[in-house]
A and B are shown apart, each in its own frame.
Chain A
């Protein structure tokens, strides 16, 4: 059968980085085609080219056998290519139908849109209530809006970028049913993922990218997860598993922690209890928006409460501010790199000062000791191999991975007794992620208590000695990771508690 979409010899560079190096991709009609690869393998660049957001420097595209250039997303949509991005572009305060209307000609009556949304959502098993405001919806429902938006264009090819990264396993199952239905209608799907099980379950073919090159085209059902992982990562994948360290005394104790939501989109914490011992890594799993931000703020002291709800080495710290907690040996890395952990327009030296001014001897009589700050930030840069474009660039000039190494490194180098980190490797390339994870393991081995809040189950299973799940502001009991399986954790993430492991 003739190919629906064929890309051959696609080259795209960003400065010295070759994001796509003579990439070939063939998507047949009515197939679900996986684009597999690690973060930074060049998947996003390729699909941006296919969707007209980027232009290739070399190579050709053909659509249904005809050579085409796709100059813009509008042109891609006209050809019949739809895309659902990983990060949604929805307005929280508008309803489902209003959000859909934004992508349609202004003259379309709202009643027509509501009817179409309802019809599509019934036809494809995408339950959606057209008149609900977006902020009330779960992430899975928000994704459905994006899919419905794309389907309204009646695409022949639907591109989905890491669609399950924000879904519970149950929501993901529901999505797969929808995708199968679309395929049965003769539409093709380009499915971008690094989750091997999903790809083996869902996809007919897989193109595997590594460091910008196609390393294999395979039938995922004929491969094992391990063989696909080998193709993706290049080397035999070691099941990184936290070595059992000797755990010591209870270092962080949280009990009876309840906090009201700070704003209407927030989640209240309800009677949270948790203990982290010296030398141990405890993981907190959960879908975004279930109270992780509030829990982090309570632990860091950005939000303070009753003294007794949180204690560090037996000392009540619940009412202390963030710098008082830092002086007692705690260190924190929040989820947002730019704007929370680091100020985008500030230099790295100033960003070292940002979290270290209370503890690192940077300030004397109110004046900043520039040479001390510079010496410290140079140490962080060299110890954590932070690649920078100049001697002291602004934080925003760093790639995600390098900035993350910097914000993690500036805390770990202080040798904290308690280290709380949220999403330590979110959007970070594989090499930087490995560096960061190793640093966390080493820190725990040296006797620190480490708490990792993450949505990445692979990461938590690889790092954590014990695992708890946060859902709707409630935290489950932390259980030893080896006693848990992904299914159980997934159910708990979806709000189903009390399932025996």
Chain B
């Protein structure tokens, strides 16, 4: 007796929806086992992780703040992965967006400027992320270089550049030698949505971006081109689409959105440049994109869920002395189960009686 994976002829619609839910359930079970092994009460830990952050308005606002960069980046990655292009370097594009946008905030610091500063910063952030993403895209389109490697390696280049800037030229002169920039002027920070709390306009931008992306993917010729390039590249050429240009487009869009996420993060919750501006949003967004079934609306929902793991991880550290790294473990488990469950979308498991070799 042995097990084989057999390609499914049909792909029922309910499975496509059930698969991420099953993955989340399996992640929770695996998490409970993990907590039990750490000597903690599994149910209490899961409650701290996944229920407490939803219990009051403050926490809900925090959830949306954390979800904002995840949603923005994941929407861009959705387009990439749909077209079978693998941008793994969103974290670096986020950093470069933050660097480009912050340059304007620092250049205008201390002098009176109009309300144009913030929109211009956001635009620069988009351009920064886009420029950084176009490096692997051009290498792939022109020379056939594997974009997974180049986009990933450029993450470290971007992070070291940021590190150099905040420790060097852009360090706050009055900052007691702490490696950070000055705090941005009010006109260079994201407006708060409600009177109290931390929820800022960025979240609204993320929601609008997800909705627009969903509309364009479903209704526009460009969206059709992106989906076709991933589904059948030869058919995409037959349809008259230039697959190299599609690669450039999706990298530019995803890089731009990651850059936007970066500058929003710096001009929003952080309010200044620091050596580290992201707890790995660019990588977590990969999980968001897959959990959201490579669909922009799905990414919106999945972004909120993954934000929960970030906040839950902090809660668990405070309340139960569970190490913060458990957050990463959770996210990794989730990606593992999402991809695992997706296998069963395409294949079914079949038992075959063992055959003796002839």
Contact = CB atoms under 8 A, between A and B. Distances in A.
Interface of A: 71-72, 74-75, 77-78, 105, 153, 300-302, 321-323, 326, 332, 334, 336, 338-346, 350, 353-355, 357-358, 363, 366-368, 370
Interface stretch (B47-55, B143-151, B235-243, B301-309): B235-243
B1 interface: no
B232 A340 contact: yes
B224 interface: yes
B358 A336 contact: no
B224 A353 contact: yes
Contact of A300 (B224, B232, B238): B238
Interface residues of B, number: 19
B219 interface: yes
B240 A343 contact: no
A489 to B, nearest CB: 29
B234 interface: yes
A367 B220 contact: yes
B358 A346 contact: no
B221 A366 contact: yes
Contacts of B224: 350, 353, 357, 368
Contacts, number: 75
A358 B241 CA distance: 11
A323 B232 CA distance: 18
CB-based closest 5 A-B pairs: A323-B240, A343-B232, A74-B358, A322-B240, A78-B358
30 contacts: A72-B355, A74-B355, A74-B356, A74-B357, A75-B358, A78-B358, A302-B238, A322-B237, A322-B238, A336-B234, A339-B234, A339-B235, A340-B232, A342-B232, A342-B235, A343-B235, A344-B232, A346-B227, A353-B224, A354-B228, A354-B239, A355-B238, A355-B239, A357-B221, A358-B240, A366-B221, A367-B220, A368-B220, A368-B221, A368-B224
Contacts of A350: 224
Contacts of A326: 240
A322 B237 CA distance: 9
Nearest to B242: A321
Contact of A346 (B220, B222, B228, B356): B228
A450 to B, nearest CB: 19
B235 A354 contact: yes
A341 B235 contact: yes
A323 B220 CA distance: 18
B6 interface: no
A367 B240 contact: no
A412 B238 CA distance: 16
B231 interface: yes
Contacts of B237: 302, 322
Select the residue from B220, B221, B356 with max chain A CB neighbours within 10 A. B221
Contacts of A341: 235, 238
Contact of A368 (B219, B231, B232): B219
Contacts of B232: 338-340, 342-346
Given A326-B240, A340-B235, A367-B220, 18 more contacts: A72-B355, A74-B356, A75-B355, A75-B358, A322-B237, A322-B239, A322-B240, A336-B234, A346-B227, A354-B235, A354-B239, A355-B239, A357-B221, A357-B239, A357-B240, A363-B221, A368-B219, A368-B221
